[in-house]
Amino acid sequence: MEIRKYGAIDIGSNAIRLLIANVIEQEGKKTLFRKSSLVRVPIRLGADVFTSGNISEENITRMVDAMKAFKLLINVHKVEKYKACATSAMREASNGLKITTKIKKETGINIDIIDGEKEATIISSTDLKKLIKSKESYLYVDVGGGSTEFTIFSKGNVINTKSFKIGTVRLLNNSKKENKVMFEQMEEWIERNTKGLKKLSLIGSGGNINKVFKMSGREIDKPLSFSYMNSQYKHLKKMSYKQRILKLGLNPDRADVIIPAMKIYLSAMKWSEAKNIFVPKIGLSDGIIKSLYNNLI
C-alpha cells in the first residue's frame, strides 16, 4: 500500500477552499481518495465583481493572506501535487489576471482561471458516475456563487452541458430584471434538453445543497423529494437572516445564499419534471484531486 497526498484550491465566488486528500494505492485494487483536511475561508469575491466589475483591494489582501496560509498547510501536510482553480468571479474580474500574477509572485501558487465548461468537466471526473444508472436519466446541477453548471446524462452518456451566469451571490446582487432574464434562459434550455427523458432525477452539488441534505437527516444515497425541498425552501424564506444563523446554526456567509440556491435547484426540478434530487457531496475540489491523479489537468 502506498499513500500519497494531493491538494486542491477552489477559488469560488462565495468562498475559497483548500482540500487535502490522501490517495491510497493498493496493488490489484481500486485507488481510494480520502479527505485529510478541508479549510474554507469566507471571502466573497462575487460581491465585488458582480457589482463593480473588479475585486477590491481589501479582498485582494485577504486572498493573498489566504494563499500564503494554504501554501504553509500544503507544505506541512507534505502534499506531493496540487492545483488551484478559480471560477466565475475571477473569470469576470477586470483585475483577475493581475491578481493571479501577484499571488504567483508572493506565494508561488499558480492559479488557473477556468471557464464554465472546464469546471463542469473537472467536477464530472469525481464519483458522479457511481450514482448514474445505465437505464435512467439525470440532470446534474452544480450551483456556485457566480455560475450554475448543468450536465444531462441519459443511459450512462453525457447528452449536453451548459453553464449559466447565475449563482447565489449574483442573484443577491443583480437586479430583478437581470435575474428574470437568466431564469427564463435556464428554463428554456432545461425544458428543451430534458424533453422526452422519462423518470429523470436531479443530482445536486454545492455547499448549499450539501447543507440542506445534512439538515434533512437523510441517509447517504437517499434522495430528497421535490415536496421536501419545496417545504424547506418556504420554511427558510419565512425565517430572518438572524434566525437562520441562531436557530439553524448556519454560517453568516451561508445564511443568505442558501435561499437563492434552493430557488435554482427547485426551478431545475420543476422545469425537468424531476421528483427527486440526489446529493453525493462532490464538488470542484474533489474533481481537481481526481483530475490531478489521472493527469487530466
How far, in Å, are 199, 211, 237, 259 from residue 255 at the CA level? 32, 10, 11, 8
2-115 adopts what CATH topology? Nucleotidyltransferase; domain 5 (3.30.420)
What pLDDT digit, counting tens, does each position of 205-229 carry?
999 999 999 999 998 889 999 999 9
The pLDDT, as a whole number, for residue 129 is 67
- Domains 2-115 and 128-281 fall in the same CATH topology: yes
The DSSP output letter for 112 is E
Residue that the C-alpha cell 489521472 belongs to? 294
CATH of 128-281, one of 1.10.150.130, 3.30.420.150, 1.10.10.10, 3.30.70.260: 3.30.420.150
> 121-149 as b/e, with b when 16 or more CB fall inside 10 Å?
bbbbbbebeebbeeebbbbbbbbbbbbbb
The pLDDT, as a whole number, for residue 146 is 92
Query: For the chain, what are the domain ranges?
Result: 2-115, 128-281
> Starting at the edge strand that comes first in sequence, how are the strands of the sheet with 2-11 ordered?
32-41, 16-25, 2-11, 81-86, 111-113
The pLDDT, as a whole number, for residue 150 is 93
Counting as low any pLDDT under 50, the low residues of the chain are none
- Residue 107 CA to residue 116 CA, distance in Å, equals 26
